[in-house]
Structure 1
């Protein structure tokens, strides 16, 4: 019963959120971990908004960034690191 539900959730995630395109530069595992940790941090920020506004704002920004990274599959930091490893070489494609 529980394994069926887990399989159903996994299948729905792979069909919708975890689809890859040309802009995806992080793995599915990283995406899942980013969504999970981003959700936790974001919700923690929402709960702290009145008791500690500065900390809550930081948590909201960090949580949103992680959620965006997980949902889109694109991380600008990873992209920049990969480009620096390649020596920042540009590839120009000329089509006729």
Structure 2
């Protein structure tokens, strides 16, 4: 009686095909991992750039606020004087005599 499930030694082409397939799979996995690593590096670089831009924007906002406070004070003081002078002129009864 012959056993049908007897394993034979793999032929040379089967061993080569298996080795080649293993090599291709390793290359694909390596390529995928490399792409993922490059994507992570890009995301981290973008994150650091966004943090730097946020710091710059906050500094610009502080400078803008200080400028508006200064300009508001510089404009408000003379305008108060002008408005008071106009109010005095309106309150004075000027006759044509």
The structure having more radius of gyration, on CA atoms, is: 2
Q: Does TM, scored on the shorter chain, surpass 0.5?
A: no
| Structure with greater proportional helix content | 2
Normalised by the size of structure 1, how large is the TM-score? 0.26
Name the structure, 1 or 2, with higher relative contact order (CA <8 Å, separation 6+): 1
